[in-house]
């Protein structure tokens, strides 16, 4: 057998739906020598990481830590710990990840009621109130930032609404944590999960989760065992809690990476970080408008970190994405589900959210569009984006 050569991947600018570019400081942290997962020094690192996660989630929840797995493992964690066979759960579906949450809940034995909105739209509180009062579910699951559509779901009133029917509120913040405000305590959220590879600009591999005291009481009083041994919070929390009881070997290097990524988040400051994401989003949107293009997400609910761009009539999806990758080293994402072949998903997340990336993408996109015969004014996109940057 021939031995493969040393890894030499091509240089890429990651402007897709994830992963995002990883900050050089995070990459350096990953080269730090390993400690044992029960080493006293590593336990201090765990504590530091947990506290910075609480600050990012804006919560005082004790049960807050990164699950060893990607964002989908986070989804499964919160669902299987709160749901027992036969429990009622309402899941809000306006994209791929609401659909995925439905699948996970059904596999856990939940009796699922879905509430749907068109892709690119968000949910109205009156619609959700009607469903909650009719179904009286144990859990309501909803995606805060729908990665497949770029929809940004308002959350401020939902926790209060759930308490009217004694319902636990579970939210997906995989694409929102570190990019837009996430207010777990203020919103009355009972369970939340995220991922490291989006706005935290860390490699994929950990899924931050947090459970409110209300949710912890539910999972500790279960009548049946959690269906997943690996994700059972009744056991895992003993490792991340004061006991430090062995459960599994933590991915040491990924914890190093997340710790450094969170240090970067808090050095920048949450509010300035949110403002940076919004500024670059607005510049991209202005540039696209100058090229006659728009977003597929409803106005006023468009995520700054994930832009679902309508593909212009007469322009082919795949050739543009292939050329962006091969000639410019830029990765963007295609549409999923109802948006397949209709949108490009452009992520400006974390370290990838920089003016240079916005301007480079607009310049490269103009070339790709013109090569397919699109009628645009050369340089218009860059000029519009630069004009917006000059004003902000």
Q: What is the pLDDT of residue 244?
A: 80
Q: Regarding predicted confidence, which is higher, 59 or 372?
A: 59
As a whole number, the mean pLDDT across the chain is 96
Cα separation of 265 and 262, whole Å? 5
Per domain, the residue ranges of the chain are 24-267, 269-391
Across 244-255, average pLDDT:
89
Instruction: Report residue 361's pLDDT band, with 50, 70 and 90 as the boundaries.
Output: very high
Q: What is the side-by-side order of every strand in the sheet holding 306-310?
A: 306-310, 343-347, 333-334
Exposure of 370 in the CB half-sphere (CA atoms within 13 A)? 13
For every residue of 35-91, DSSP letters joined together read --TT-HHHHHHHHHHHHHHHHHHT---SEEEEEES-HHHHHHHHHHHH--TT-EEEE
CB atoms within 10 A of CB 342: 16
Q: What is the pLDDT of residue 38?
A: 87
Task: Specify the CATH class of 24-267 in words.
Answer: alpha beta
Residue-wise pLDDT for 103-125, tens only, equals: 999 999 999 999 999 999 999 99
Cα separation of 107 and 350, whole Å? 33
Across 200-222, average pLDDT:
97
Residue-wise pLDDT for 250-267, tens only, equals: 899 999 999 999 999 999
Residue-wise pLDDT for 49-95, tens only, equals: 999 999 999 999 999 999 999 999 999 999 999 999 999 999 999 99
Radius of gyration (C-alpha) of the chain in whole angstroms? 21
Q: Is the predicted pLDDT of residue 147 greater than 80, yes or no?
A: yes
Looking at domain 269-391, which CATH architecture does it have?
Answer: Alpha-Beta Complex (3.90)
pTM for the whole thing? 0.96
Q: What is the pLDDT of residue 367?
A: 95
Q: What is the pLDDT of residue 243?
A: 78
């Amino acid at each position: 057998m021939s031995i493969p050569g040393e890894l030499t991947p091509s240089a890429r600018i990651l402007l897709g739906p994830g992963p995002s570019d990883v900050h050089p400081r995070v990459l350096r942290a990953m080269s730090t020598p390993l400690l044992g997962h029960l080493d006293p020094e590593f336990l201090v690192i765990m504590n530091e990481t947990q506290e910075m996660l609480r600050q990012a989630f804006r919560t005082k929840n004790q049960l807050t830590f990164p699950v060893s797995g990607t964002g989908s493992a986070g989804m499964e964690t919160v669902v299987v710990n709160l749901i027992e066979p036969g429990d009622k759960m309402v899941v809000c579906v306006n994209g791929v990840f609401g659909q995925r949450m439905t699948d996970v809940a059904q596999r856990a034995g939940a009796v699922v009621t879905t509430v749907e909105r068109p892709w690119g739209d968000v949910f109205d509180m009156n619609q959700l109130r009607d469903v909650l009062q009719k179904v009286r579910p144990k859990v309501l699951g909803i995606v805060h930032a729908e990665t497949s559509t770029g929809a940004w779901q308002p959350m401020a009133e939902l926790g209060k609404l759930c308490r009217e029917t004694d319902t636990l509120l579970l939210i997906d913040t995989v694409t929102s944590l570190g990019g837009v405000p996430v207010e777990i305590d203020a919103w009355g959220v009972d369970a939340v999960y995220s991922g490291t590879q989006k706005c935290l600009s860390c490699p994929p591999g950990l899924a931050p989760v947090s459970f409110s005291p209300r949710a912890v009481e539910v999972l500790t009083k279960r009548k049946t065992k959690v269906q997943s041994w690996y994700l059972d919070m009744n056991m895992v929390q003993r490792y991340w809690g004061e006991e430090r009881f062995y459960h599994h070997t933590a991915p040491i290097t990924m914890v190093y990476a997340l710790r450094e990524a969170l240090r970067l988040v808090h050095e920048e400051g949450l509010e300035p970080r949110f403002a940076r994401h919004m500024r670059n989003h607005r510049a991209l949107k202005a540039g696209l408008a100058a090229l006659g293009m728009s977003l597929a997400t409803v106005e006023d609910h468009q995520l700054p970190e994930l832009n679902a761009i309508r593909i212009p009539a007469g322009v082919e999806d795949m050739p543009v994405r292939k050329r962006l990758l091969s000639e410019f080293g830029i990765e963007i994402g295609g549409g999923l589900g109802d948006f397949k072949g209709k949108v490009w998903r452009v992520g400006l997340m974390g370290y990838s959210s920089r003016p240079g990336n916005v301007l480079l993408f607009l310049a490269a996109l103009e070339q790709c569009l013109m090569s397919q015969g699109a009628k645009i004014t050369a340089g218009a996109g860059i000029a519009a984006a630069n004009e917006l940057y000059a004003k902000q």
